[in-house]
Amino acid sequence: MNAISIPRLTQMKAEQQKFAVLTAYDATFAQLAAEAGVEVLLVGDSLGMVLQGQDSTLPVTLEDMVYHTRAVAKGNARAAQPALVMTDLPFMSYGTLEQGLASARAVMQAGAHLIKIEGDDWLIPLIQRLAQQGVPVCAHLGLTPQAVNKLGGYKVQGRDDAKADAMLAHAIALAEAGADLLLLECVPSTLAERITQAVSIPVIGIGAGSATDAQVLVMHDMLGLNRGRVPKFVKNYMVNGNTVQDAFAQYTSEVKAGVFPAAEHGFSA
C-alpha cells in the first residue's frame, strides 16, 4: 500500500476513494487508529472539551497542542502504516502572519504533518506563506468552533442561499491560495456536495453529508463516551460487543465504503 501523504490523499479524491479521519490526543489511541487504517489523525482543539472539560475550544493553548501532537506522533510512528498527523492551531494563535508562522512551526516541529486553521478568505495570506514554507494546510469552513461567540452557538452554517454561495466562493479561493485540504463542519449536505465537486483538493466532512471525500469524528463521540448532548452527525461504534479496535476498524471501513454517514447524520438546507 502507498504511504499516506498529501499527494496520495489528492490522488484518492481523483480516484473517488474515500478516506477516514479521526481525532487522537495520545500515543495509544493514535497507534490503534493508525493500525485500523485511519489515514489522518486530527489532534483537534476539541481536546479542550473532551480532555480538559472546558465548555469550548477557546481556552486551549499552543503548548497544549504541542504536547498532544508529540504524543500522537510517537504512537502513530509505531503503526506499520502511519497516518498523517494534522494539528489544529488554537484560538488566536494565527491572527497575524507572524503568529501563524510561529504557531505552525511549533506544532510541525512537535510532529504534525499538516496544520488546520479555521476561517474563510482572511486566511489566504497565511496559507500562501505556509505553502511557500512547505507547510500543508487544511482550511476549516462552516461551523468554526473557535468563532462560537460570533456565531451564537454550535449551529449549522450556510443554510441560506447567500451564505451558501459565499462559502462556496471561499472554498474555491482557499484552494486556489494553496490550501491542501478543506474541512466542512455542520453544513447542509447539498452545499458540501457542491463544494466537494468544485475543488480538486480533498474535502473532509463532519455533519456535512456523505458526498465529501473523507469523514472525521471526535474519537470520544464515536466511542459513545459523550456525556452531554450527542450531535446528530455522530454514530456510536461501541456496539455489538465491539472493542475499541473493532470500533476504529468498523468506522474506517464504513467511511471508505460510503456507509457512514447515512442520510440521518446530515443536515438539510
Residues with catalytic annotation?
185
Q: Which of 192, 216, 247, 249 binds ligand KIV (CB under 6 A)?
A: 216
User: Which lies closer to ligand KIV via its Cβ, residue 181 or residue 183?
Assistant: 183
Q: Which of 218, 234, 247, 255 binds ligand KIV (CB under 6 A)?
A: 218
Cis? peptide before 136, omega within 30° of 0: no
Of residues 136 through 195, those in contact with ligand KIV by CB under 6 A are: 183, 185
| Binding of ligand KIV by 42 (CB under 6 A) | yes
User: Which lies closer to ligand KIV via its Cβ, residue 41 or residue 211?
Assistant: 41
Cα–Cα nearest to 42, from 10, 78, 89 = 89
| Binding of ligand KIV by 40 (CB under 6 A) | no
Least distance to ligand KIV from the beta carbon of 219, Å?
9
Least distance to ligand KIV from the beta carbon of 243, Å?
23
Sequence-distant contacts of 3-8: CB under 8 A, at least 24 apart: 3/81, 3/82, 4/39, 4/40, 4/81, 4/82, 4/83, 4/84, 5/84, 6/84, 6/113, 6/114, 6/136, 6/180, 6/181
Using the Cα atoms of residue 142, residue 170, residue 24 and residue 234 in order, give the sign of their dihedral.
Answer: positive
Is the distance from CB of 217 to CB of 206 less than 8 angstroms? Answer: yes
Q: Which of 38, 115, 186, 206 binds ligand KIV (CB under 6 A)?
A: 206
Is the distance from CB of 141 to CB of 182 less than 8 angstroms? Answer: yes
- Site size toward ligand KIV (CB under 6 A) is 11
Interface residues toward ligand KIV, by CB under 6 A: 23, 42, 44-46, 88, 183, 185, 206, 216, 218
